[in-house]
Amino acid sequence: MDPMLNQTAIYAIRAMGFLARQDMDTPVLSSTIAKEMKIPPNFLSKIFTRLGQAGLVISTRGRGGGVMLSRSASKIYLFEVVDLFMKIDDFKQCLLGMGNCSGSCGLHRRWRIISDQFEKMLGETTIAEAL
């Protein structure tokens, strides 16, 4: 069974979770995170670039450099991370992929309840709670 989240979003959450378990004031080398979380290093670098652009992580170069969360893991919500790497609104589309779906069928109404709950869960769950 395929996961609901794409691989990039999954890697991003795993990396953020790893950072959440570290001392918040100490940067961690991305190579350490890649090794521990089994994420391809080049891919992780691109993920951290995007997370940095969004203000979710701080990256420092040089001796003692690395990556760290920009704020407490209890103040970073899964939606903030996932929304960077995939379109959450795609879950609100027709479950059968019909481009001209009016949303009036029973399946669509039932799926909408599930997709709304999924979005709510992402918006209410912090990185700290996801660990």
Count of beta carbons in the 10 Å neighbourhood of residue 118: 15
Task: Give the whole-angstrom CA distance, residue 38 versus residue 99.
Answer: 37
- Domain locations in the chain as residue ranges: 7-87+126-130
In order, the DSSP letters of 64-93 are T-EEEESS-GGG-BHHHHHHHHS-GGGGGS
Give the residue-averaged pLDDT of 23-32.
92
Q: Is the pLDDT reported for residue 86 higher than 90?
A: yes
CATH class in words for 7-87+126-130:
mainly alpha
Q: How many percent of the chain have pLDDT more than 70?
A: 96
Question: Is residue 88 predicted with pLDDT exceeding 90?
Answer: no
Q: Which residue has the higher pLDDT, 97 or 121?
A: 121
Q: Quick one: tokens of 33? A: 């995170």
CA distances from 81 to 12, 27, 29 (A): 7, 19, 20
Quote the CA–CA distance of 126 and 78 in Å, as a whole number.
6
Q: Report the pLDDT value the prediction gives residue 98, as an integer from 0 to 100.
A: 72
What pLDDT band is residue 1 in, cutting at 50, 70 and 90? low
CA dist 87 and 90 (Å) reads: 6
Looking at residue 2, its pLDDT comes to 67
Mean pLDDT value of segment 33-60: 97
How far does CA 115 lie from the centroid of its chain?
17
pTM given for the model:
0.88
| Residue bearing tokens 């309840």 | 113
User: What number is the average pLDDT over the span 57-76?
Assistant: 93
